[in-house]
Amino acid sequence: MVTAQTSFLVAVMYYLGAVYMTSYYRYFRLDAFSLGFSFAELSIQSLSVVTVPVAIFLTVAVLVARHLATRGTAPVQGRAALVMERWARRAARAHLWFVLAGLLLLPWWSLIQPYGWTAPLLMGFGIFLGQTPWSGAAPASATLWSKAVPVFSAGLLVMWAFSLATDQMGEQEAGQVADNLVRRTAVVVLSTDRLSLAGPGVNVEDLGAKAHYRYRYTGLRRLIERNGRYYLLPLGWSHSVGTTYVIQEGNDVRIDLMPGMQGIRSW
């Protein structure tokens, strides 16, 4: 049982991590899977979606689920537990309203962006509440159609909501990175031959024929580095027209890394 739950949790972490990384690097016109992230890296990256509101929601959900699991085997103790149960009972009795609210939001999908994830979340939450004893609608006998199918459907809707929210979070954080490029690690590219690096914020210097690395490029910031391949953004990068440069370090190209604020004057 513990192994199955752990495997399910890891699978969810991998899925959300993959959604986040895909959205994040898609903003910079990169395919996250082509970057060669491992299963562990994608799984760990899912922790980026655990913000304060998400942590509060998950904590409350776990407490309510635990209370439901122990209901009837242990007495309710404490004022907080009584208040929680009272509100849970009210929410369970109103489960159909949650589902209806989610359904009504679907036709207005384009108008409720970037909060479209609220529609499947409301529907999934409402279906789940309808399976609790407090809803008054849960069947007494546990059959495939009366229990498993509604719970599975609720799980799919909640995962859909989490996917939409994670995708949105990845894009938002990528936008924040683009707006604060100057704070990222500065990259100086030294090359024996002239490279096709041009754009707003990029500066090139010819150090002379006697220099082994004749051309020096500044005004670049590192997005990520994978196996000697550097993905760089110019200081003047924008999502609408910006170019993401891919430079492979080798005998004819050297990469120097500097503090983030370096090179701001040259821009």
Alpha helices in 106-238 (DSSP H): 118-129, 149-179
Q: Which two tokens stand for residue 69?
A: 């699991």
Render pLDDT for 74-128 as a digit per residue (tens, 0 to 9): 555 556 666 666 776 777 777 888 899 999 998 888 888 888 888 999 998 888 8
**Distance between CA 171 and CA 168 in Å, rounded?**
5
Q: How confident is the model at residue 220 (pLDDT cuts 50, 70, 90)?
A: very high
What lies within 8 Å, CB to CB, of 159 at 6+ separation is: 12, 15
**Distance between CA 127 and CA 135 in Å, rounded?**
10
Compute the Cα dihedral for 76, 77, 83, 84 and give only its sign.
Answer: negative
**Predicted pLDDT at 123:** 92
Render pLDDT for 69-83 as a digit per residue (tens, 0 to 9): 555 545 555 566 666
Q: Give the number of other Cβ atoms within 10 Å of residue 3's Cβ.
A: 7
